[in-house]
Amino acid sequence: MSMDKLEDELRHVWDDYYYALGKFFHMFARTEESLQACIANFLSARFVARDPRDAFALRAAMAQSGISAVTETLLRLLRSTKASAVRQQNLALVLTHLRQIANLRNRIAHNAGEPDLNNRGWFYTSNLVVAREPDKINHLHFSTKMLLDAAADVQLIADVVHGLMEPTWPHSPPPPKAWSYDPADVPPGYERLTASAPNPKKRSPKQRRNKPGG
């Protein structure tokens, strides 16, 4: 491949990445804001007096926090108001998926991403430079499709959470049976991520031949 063709190919790779990344980060930010509003609405409906200005006093008392604190607050609100076990369980499952997506977002935001030149459309992010101990080093693979899937999921999560917190919330979809984004996906030739194997490892040729469905 000539240098001109290589540069053109890389330009398309980066353009696809920037589009998917921008959409993902945009939708994640909107969902963060939506969940903060969900907490404020939940409390306002129950504890704010007749004076509308009390709603701003409530907001003033709520410290701005990251996604981890927001998810814990949402779960705690349902527990403390004795919501049904089904609602609490569904919310916990939805927020677990949101935290998985947040991990992808944080890794890219802090460690950036680089293209996997052996697999078109795939990228990886590594904490090699910032890891303080050798056993803390890990690499996370993701594709542009995974970024777009994550963007779609966080958009849906905002509506689902509103419905779980307030069953009378209009047009709230139920939790989906399956999500689009799967954090266990890895490029061809790599083992899928599991709890016992946090880092993707290359399969041997024999393992690849024996891969289920392959």
Residue 191: the pLDDT is 67
For residue 115, the 8-state DSSP code is E
Residue 4: the pLDDT is 67
**Block means of pLDDT (10 residues each) for the chain, length 214 residues?**
70 91 96 90 72 63 73 91 92 96 94 88 86 83 96 96 86 88 87 49 44 41
Q: What angle do CA 111, 27, 55 make, to 5 degrees?
A: 115
Boundaries of every domain in the chain: 3-110+144-176
Question: CA-CA distance, 49 to 98, in Å (whole number)?
Answer: 33
Residue 28: the pLDDT is 96
Residue 41: the pLDDT is 83
Residue 50: the pLDDT is 60
Residue 197: the pLDDT is 41
Question: CA-CA distance, 208 to 200, in Å (whole number)?
Answer: 14
Per-residue HEC secondary structure of 119-170 comes to CCCEEEEECCCCCCCHHHCCEEEEEHHHHHHHHHHHHHHHHHHHHHHCCCCC
For residue 194, the 8-state DSSP code is B
DSSP notation for 45-93 = HHH--SSTHHHHHHHHHS----HHHHHHHHHHHHHHTT--HHHHHHHHH
Residue 48: the pLDDT is 63
